[in-house]
Chain A
Amino acid sequence: MTAPRDKLGRPVVVVTGMGITTSLGAGKADNWSKLVAGESGIRTITRFPVDGLKTTMAGTVDFVSVDPFSSTGLSERMAELVTEEALEQAGIGAKGDFPGPLFLAVAPVEVEWPQRRELGRAVGAPDFTYDDLLRISGGGKYSAYHHRFMFGSVAAYLAETFGTKGSPISLSTACASGATSIQLGVEAIRRGETDAALCVATDGTVNPEALVRFSLLSALSTQNDPPQAASRPFSKNRDGFVMAEGAGALVLESYEAATARGANILGVIAGCGELTDSFHRTRSSPDGKPIIGCMNKTLADAGMTPDQIDHINAHGTATPENDKMEYNTTSAVFGDLLQKIPVTSNKSMVGHTISAAGAVEAIFSLLTLEHQRIPPTINYDNPDPTILFDVVGNKARDARVTAVMSNSFGFGGQNASLILTREPA
């Protein structure tokens, strides 16, 4: 048996429960079978009219219902579902009594259009100003909307429902948020503050304004037909990412605590790293140094060398810039070793789950370790000749996988990487 502490003398952090929901479906089993079969969850949006939009498809989660609908409500409901799944698998604590803190990656919250329109209609006049909206907002008629649109509301609900301890942290590091939630949990356990942490990431924000915002930044694919073929990571004809919804939850525990209670260990969070890029709000530093530094920090945190990584779960958004930058930086870190490392992007099938992506992809990485099978990057018919990754194109590949690096990069110079292993190093 392995030591309960890592090479740096810190408690080893293991995963004992996982839950996931994406546009492919609910739960690990459904998601994994569709993922390795190369199925896409991207579809034409039916939740709201798409007239006038350049992008009309997304990886929406339509099978989870929320009434009254709001993106924040959907984020909350998905987070609840994946947490239930993760806790059931982990068998930790008691119902409504999770023995540790909650770290929640969640999309920034704001009042949404259905509620704003309700307010507009309530003014009851054809001409009005914002002051008129303000005048009718009080009196208790809309008090539920105050709670709904507090940034801390999703975390407060989860903390109360699952009985997590202390103040739940809601965080955003843009598209790296899911990875950051895991990192915060790992750090808390390593510091000895807790034996267990619940790390959840959720994003249900496919709504008109969110789509327009990314569209105006020219970040989204416009290859609407067929929607399943829109997300084309590492392809020459990739033209942007596809917005998607989903959630992932991981129960983290110290190796010592998990083994003491006889828990089934699903994998190890061997290393975490992050490094800020101060070059630009949406673009990476052209020299790639912050991303290279992020991957190197993560290897150092895991006490590992590049030759020990045998699979990379790429950020792989399918934007022209990301995939090229990711290849250049990854090859700088791994050098010739990279030829032998299979790389895949789950976003080809589930789309970009934004705030949830880091956790969703960490879970897929752990399932890859469990099944020793790498899910494909679909729509890989026209490889970009300047991206020389060994892409697991179109068909899943059986492989010996012992350590996966999972990368997340976000607006605002956010870079975060995780290294996940089957066994403690």
Chain B
Amino acid sequence: MTDTASKPGQTEVWITGIGLATSLGEGLDANWAALQEKRINVDEERFAPFIVHPLLPVSFDSQIPKKGDQRQMEAWQRIGVYAAGLALDSAGIKGNKDILSKIDMVVAAGGGERDLNVDTGVLTAEAKGANAPGFLNERLMSDLRPTLFLAQLSNLLAGNIAIVNGLGGTSRTFMGEEVAGADAARIALSRIASGESDIALIGGSHNGERKDLMVLYEFGDFNLKDKFAPVWARKDHAGFALGSAGAFLVLESKAHAEARGAKPYAKLSSVVTDLARRKQGGDMEATLEKLWAKLPKRDGKGAIISGATGAEPATSEERGFLKKLADFPVRSTGTMFGHTMETQFPLGIALAALSISRGALFPPNDSTGTEVEMQGAPTQIVVVGAGHWRGEGMALVEAV
């Protein structure tokens, strides 16, 4: 098991910037207001029978001023660059060349947004008998936009963030679905805690309004169909509703933040991740218990923000784990924002930091009793992320 916990002599790491662009809105106030009102933005029609949480439209111009830059990206990248810009704004470092020239980026990304017309064109022509050996080559050579490749490459989310905002530190892109978001936080935290880095931008983005992704998840029967229900109420009607979202965080050593007068939303005390074999029932639950035990001591007013997907058997195993922690109020980001894959864990950290900074956990939205009201201000929130197929992670976010 690998872990990142603050050790004696290691520096404290603060969350000093949060950027959110989601199906509930852009920015912290809009997302917070929607959570208070238990507002969920689902679209059951557009991709019926599949359900998505579509991005609430934003004006990309405000964070990506050059149209040329916007044209070079597909939606998943635009959402991410937008949210990353909001995070830099929120940390007060937008345009600060001294800091941006050294900021370390760890981005969790998928990729591969496809041109569905090209794909369908090739397949239907073949169905009608096109079978020359070079048919596929010729169609791809003539039909693919040359720059589409750059909108598909995983590391070009980070690349576009760097180009649009003038970042000049380091840039690493982690792939691997949900846990990539947790590992991005883990590595950035461990680098700052050990003094390898002073400040980092981490996060991810996801466009859930993509039929090519639905095909991929439909292979495994993971898509939620027909009717929306909160994540915990899907046991007999399992699946996830893909969500569109970008979530980015600025992580910073306490000393670096204090030196520039930056205020923290919260501190990121620990991120732990693992890979359960999931060969038999209970494997994942056991791994979650091991991760929980590795987190630093929790003696404050605690809560849990879960990224449970609604897919089975992972969600039931996670619920089994949560049941043993009945003292902790639970919230599900999957219910409110849909499943945003690589982005779900950074989104969870963002909402944990936001809840701590606003002195209240957002209200429950669940019919099964898994989520209960919380009185008072949380001081310690554990973010739980268990992938729909592989990968488990947890983070401890605490009040400074």
Interface residue ranges, A against B (CB under 8 Å): 49-54, 101, 106, 108-111, 113, 116-117, 119-121, 123, 125-131, 133-134, 137-140, 142-147, 149-153, 155-156, 159-160, 165-174, 180, 184, 187-188, 191, 193-194, 208-209, 212-217, 274-282, 290, 410-414
Contact = CB atoms under 8 A, between A and B. Distances in A.
Interface in B340-381: none
B193 to A, nearest CB: 9
B140 A212 contact: yes
Given A147-B389, A160-B277, A167-B393, A172 B175 contact: yes
Given A52-B141, A120-B127, A212-B140, A150 B111 contact: no
A169 to B, nearest CB: 5
B179 A172 contact: no
A137 B132 CA distance: 27
Given A140-B221, A167-B182, A169-B187, A274 B171 contact: yes
A160 B214 CA distance: 27
Contact of A169 (B133, B171, B176, B274): B176
Nearest to A51: B134
Given A51-B134, A166-B2, A276-B162, A137 B215 contact: yes
Interface stretch (B145-153, B251-259, B321-329): B145-153
Contacts of B223: 138
B175 A106 contact: yes
A50 B137 contact: yes
A108 B140 CA distance: 19
A46 to B, nearest CB: 12
B23 interface: no
Contacts of B159: 281, 411-414
Contact of B155 (A113, A146, A174, A280): A174
Contact of B2 (A101, A109, A150, A156): A101
Contact of A173 (B2, B135, B173, B211): B173
A342 to B, nearest CB: 29
Select the residue from A53, A108, A128 with max chain B CB neighbours within 10 A: A108
Interface in B138-182: 138, 140-141, 144, 146, 148-150, 152-156, 158-160, 162-163, 165-177, 179-180, 182
B222 interface: yes
B168 A276 contact: yes
B277 A126 contact: no
B155 A412 contact: yes
B180 A151 contact: yes
Given A150-B389, A170-B175, A411 B132 contact: no
B218 interface: yes
Select the residue from A134, A215, A276 with max chain B CB neighbours within 10 A: A276
Nearest to B184: A169
B293 interface: no
B334 interface: no
B72 A281 contact: yes
Contacts of A134: 50, 211, 214-215, 218
Interface stretch (B58-66, B115-123, B241-249, B300-308): B115-123
A130 B137 contact: no
B190 A191 contact: yes
Contacts of A53: 134, 137, 141
A275 B127 contact: no
Nearest to A174: B155
A275 B102 CA distance: 9
B30 interface: no
A217 B145 CA distance: 10
Interface string B100-139: 0000010001111010100110011011100011111110
B183 interface: yes
A129 B112 CA distance: 19
A414 B186 CA distance: 21
Contacts of B133: 49, 51
A151 B132 CA distance: 32
8 contacts: A52-B135, A108-B111, A127-B124, A143-B219, A167-B393, A170-B175, A170-B176, A276-B171
Nearest to B389: A150
B196 interface: yes
Given A129-B120, A191-B190, A173 B150 contact: no
B163 A212 contact: no
A148 to B, nearest CB: 9
A126 B124 contact: yes
B172 A173 contact: yes
B220 interface: yes
Contacts of A144: 219
B221 A139 contact: yes
A304 to B, nearest CB: 19
A266 B214 CA distance: 47
A239 to B, nearest CB: 17
Given A169-B176, A281-B72, A108 B215 contact: no
Contact of A113 (B136, B171, B176): B136
B175 A108 contact: yes
A249 to B, nearest CB: 18
Given A143-B219, A146-B219, A412-B156, A166 B175 contact: no
A52 B215 contact: no
Contact of B212 (A111, A147, A187, A215): A111
B316 interface: no
Contacts of A126: 124, 127-128
B191 interface: yes
Contact of B137 (A143, A152, A191, A212): A212
Contacts of B16: none
Nearest to B225: A138
Contacts of A188: 2
Contact of A281 (B160, B389, B390): B160
B179 A138 contact: no
A210 to B, nearest CB: 9
A159 B182 CA distance: 17
Contact of B162 (A119, A130, A413): A413
A275 B170 CA distance: 5
A152 B181 CA distance: 12
A174 B110 CA distance: 13
Interface in B208-237: 211-212, 214-223
Going nearest first, the 4 A-B pairs with the smallest beta carbon separation are A51-B134, A412-B159, A152-B176, A166-B2
